[in-house]
Structure 1
């Protein structure tokens, strides 16, 4: 019997389910009929509801568990719709709906309810404004050989992360979706052959940020035994007070008053919510997007979980993880950010562009950053100095050094952790939209997202779906190692034996480098002492901005202005105002 495809999602079906029916699985709500992967023998159960549709009075509300019995057998052979996508970049283009709180499960064909297999739960990236389990790269067909793979949809943008408690909009709805999905895994995964005591939560970019936050919560050990953070762990989360002026402006831009914002937004159309998000991203008004080199070239927005004292009791960066972790980043994480904003001009980024980037990114700290990352150093080292300079700064500040802080905090808390540096340039594009030429791939290097196909086992017919490029034999070996390490983390609470992947030590900075092969040794985080000082300066400046906002006084926080003609790398300082720097930097460096 052929599988039941959702025609609108045909081009983006994760696993191209076809051929024969898979076995059925019975859970609390009834019996589920899945399909069989065409790239492996794994069974795929797609679009299982874990929450009631978050519509009507459940828009901007905590999710409610799906407590209904299925109407007959649940047909789980086609992808569910994506949650509503916001912004301009890295969003899914297929079917979208507010009724989107579903998850996918992939199971080895030989599994039964007594198998007690390890379980890997995936949270996609996309700045918490885009992304979906329907992305064809995120399927679990090739990573469920000896484990169970789960992928979770959660609400995005204002529907998932808008927080304005004064109006009853408590926020963190997307985080609560994730928590509810993890509880579903605890309650139901044994029916698929999984062991609820052997769950790994892993994510990339904002999915890693969310995983880091979840791993810091008091209930984390009851939901999963370990986490893996790919280019996203270790950053601070803003408080409700930090985001209040930003989200107040968003609410006003919807023509809603702050007093009745909850009812007003519940009545607003999705189109209105999305158009307002995009217009504020690109308006130059410094509301949802920073006034940075990104502005005007695409979305600078990221929707963030907030420290509210309840769902998120404390700043995750201050608390640290409560479970063992794999924590790492890619050596050129920042290059995709630069490429996506400069596109055809990426090879022609000037010194003036670089100076503007530093000014708008770091304000009065720009001069200090420039001393450590001077233009002249990149001119000497790279044929594309502007691209290289921006890539290096973004990589170190936004990805590498937050990972280092997460590792150090884990060590201080007595939590086992394993570090990695992904330093391999893939030979194939892995997303549609990634340049496919060898020259372009080499320019990007080990960029943001480039580890994903290796971790999820997609080594052929790239980019998915329907590509024709295949990874090399050494790349297949890298993928087999990474799939196995992530599975081992779920099964045993460690990725490999100590000779293959030594655990992190605060004094030794030990870990692995993934390049043409996997090698164990010391990792270089020498830049991070500098960035710790910058981070401390950012927090101090944020306090001044918050104090000025509270007193309604004009900001006296200085901002830097670089003059390309004032010397080789000279700044001048002037006075300006804006959002707190922590929020600004978090907003667009995701």
Structure 2
């Protein structure tokens, strides 16, 4: 079993946030507030943070509320104990989750709040709401500790749960089960923040939302829903945007009906209401066991879950919205300040993807890397089948652009770059370009995180020798977890420059949350310029030096955004996004992202 540090620590260091009381020798100091919803007791720890865990924003999504829009929780009648972290929403079992003692409950529409200790009644603080990643099928608020951000930026940090997998995204494609319940959960949580965060010292009129991977995609999607106006003013999208290939599903109803059949609730033979009621009667463990087992057994993308066109939240495909300058969705999006970024090796899921074929083709990706033949004859055609209608010309162009026949290590690195370019970087640049074009109302910012030498003495033992760059989710270590590393790895050497990078990034993130500008209000030595559609300036985040650049990987972004679609059009391919993916790459990708959310990559 290999552990990738950029993924492992997202989970392992949450020992700190799972039970910070035990992680500290000092006893916590209880903090009781009287709020409009009732009295609540959280605690103050020695990190200069006040923490309120497990606050319900929605009623338990069980019974008639299962596979339905969430309902506000309302008031509680007795003093609420907010010293125990919120449970995660139901999701496939994970060794890491079990080892760390994470709880899963259907009654999971909860959020956690972190504030500085020095809250003043007269001066409310800006609020930053974190939406976790995990491929829409895994993750939870409990895995992110907002204390460091709250303390560094003098902001209120809120981390939220939302329903996942079938529970969050079942869709029959009709008025009976429209889907997108997980997105509705996120919206209800934001409305709770708008109505109640003032009781915890937050300013309801100064809210920013941020998230990574599926969380970044969620942030991006929320920014395209006009009736969210007033719930937030700014948005940070980390390694995930709404136009990412796997952020949105355009044809899942028949797949979800098939899921109902697997669960013993046929759809076609009966009224859909009957099928829905049948599924509501099923134990969540049964649903998880059947859907997870089927996905693993068949390696089929047909059991994947995510946002869909529902005629209510999302009325047309994202790229149609982007192409319509007069759309109300785009008008709302361009009224928000946005920050969008990626890591320079976001395509690190190649490590898992490549491992699925190594027995058959006789190589070891953890040592020598990915052979050119496997890359061009297996990986690329799989990707083309999933997303480009199996177009051979696209496959040939991808191989020619990224393949390195005479250097297996470099071939492997280029494979990582290709996946990052297609799934993360190019969609991010497209999102930024659409936002920035002729926009005089709001600012756009781009970053590339490239700090790949993490503060571990065991890098060489867990990453292939050929691997370079910062893998998917690596920046989260510096935003959330750096101080916690020694709790789980006492021998780790964390340098002054590591702490300096963490402080800089936390300051930039919270500055953006407060002002819509990562530089803050005062001049800074390492100025982060805004992104403009013509120059495409960005800031490269690194320990050794933060540098400004232009048009990051511009030729490759142009290849993905323009050359590939032109090939598809010229060869009469039906669509860039296809309705029924072939199984191979999609399943590996989502399994990877699901594992990433809890930090485990085997």
Give the TM-score normalised by the residue count of structure 1: 0.82
Whole-angstrom distance in 2 between the partners of 1:252 and 1:154: 25
Partner of 2:600: none
> In 2 relative to 1, CA 172–468 (structure 1 residues): closer, same or farther, beyond 3 Å?
farther
Of 458-467 and 473-482, deviating more is: 458-467
Summarize deviations over 1:281-326 as a string: whole Å, max 9, x none.
Answer: 223363436xxxxxxxxxxx4x211121202234344245341111
The question of 1:428 aligning with 2:448 is answered no
Pick from 339, 342, 347: which aligns with 2:355?
A: 342
Summarize deviations over 1:49-105 as a string: whole Å, max 9, x none.
Answer: 11111111111111110123232x211111121110137798676211101111000
The question of 1:445 aligning with 2:461 is answered no
Partner of 1:394: 419
Q: Is the 8 A contact 2:211 2:238 kept in 1?
A: yes
- Give the secondary-structure state (helix, strand or coil) at the position aligned to 2:162: coil
Partner of 1:288: 302
Kindly report which structure 2 residues correspond to 1:21-420, keeping only aligned pairs within 5 A, or say none.
21-38=29-46, 40-71=47-78, 73-86=79-92, 94-135=102-143, 138-145=144-151, 146-166=154-174, 168-235=176-243, 242-258=251-267, 259=272, 260-284=274-298, 286-288=300-302, 301=304, 303-317=305-319, 318-319=321-322, 320=330, 321-322=333-334, 323-339=336-352, 342=355, 345-347=365-367, 348-354=369-375, 355-363=377-385, 364-374=390-400, 377-380=403-406, 384-385=409-410, 387-412=412-437, 414=439, 415-420=442-447
Deviation of 1:349 after TM superposition, in Å, equals: 2.9
Whole-angstrom distance in 1 between the partners of 2:298 and 2:583: 16
Q: Is the 8 A contact 2:437 2:532 kept in 1?
A: no
Deviation of 1:435 after TM superposition, in Å, equals: 6.3
Partner of 1:562: none
The count of residues paired between Structure 1 and Structure 2 equals 532
Partner of 1:14: 18
Of 170-179 and 21-30, deviating more is: 21-30
The question of 1:486 aligning with 2:509 is answered yes
> In 2 relative to 1, CA 409–116 (structure 1 residues): closer, same or farther, beyond 3 Å?
same
Q: Is the 8 A contact 1:86 1:157 kept in 2?
A: no
Partner of 2:5: none
Q: Is the 8 A contact 2:39 2:80 kept in 1?
A: yes
> In 2 relative to 1, CA 114–373 (structure 1 residues): closer, same or farther, beyond 3 Å?
farther
Kindly report which structure 2 residues correspond to 1:525-536, keeping only aligned pairs within 5 A, or say none.
525-533=554-562, 534-535=564-565
Unaligned runs of 5+ in 1: 1-8, 290-300, 550-576
Whole-angstrom distance in 1 between the partners of 2:566 and 2:294: 29
Pick from 457, 471, 476: which aligns with 2:499?
A: 476
Of 215-224 and 275-284, deviating more is: 275-284
Deviation of 1:427 after TM superposition, in Å, equals: 1.9
- Give the secondary-structure state (helix, strand or coil) at the position aligned to 2:243: coil
Deviation of 1:440 after TM superposition, in Å, equals: 4.9
Whole-angstrom distance in 1 between the partners of 2:469 and 2:133: 19
Q: Is the 8 A contact 2:409 2:466 kept in 1?
A: no
Unaligned runs of 5+ in 2: 1-12, 323-329, 357-363, 594-602
Whole-angstrom distance in 2 between the partners of 1:91 and 1:167: 36
Whole-angstrom distance in 2 between the partners of 1:368 and 1:128: 28
Q: Is the 8 A contact 1:461 1:467 kept in 2?
A: no
Q: Is the 8 A contact 1:332 1:445 kept in 2?
A: yes
| RMSD of aligned residue pairs (Cα, Å) | 3.3
- Give the secondary-structure state (helix, strand or coil) at the position aligned to 2:111: strand
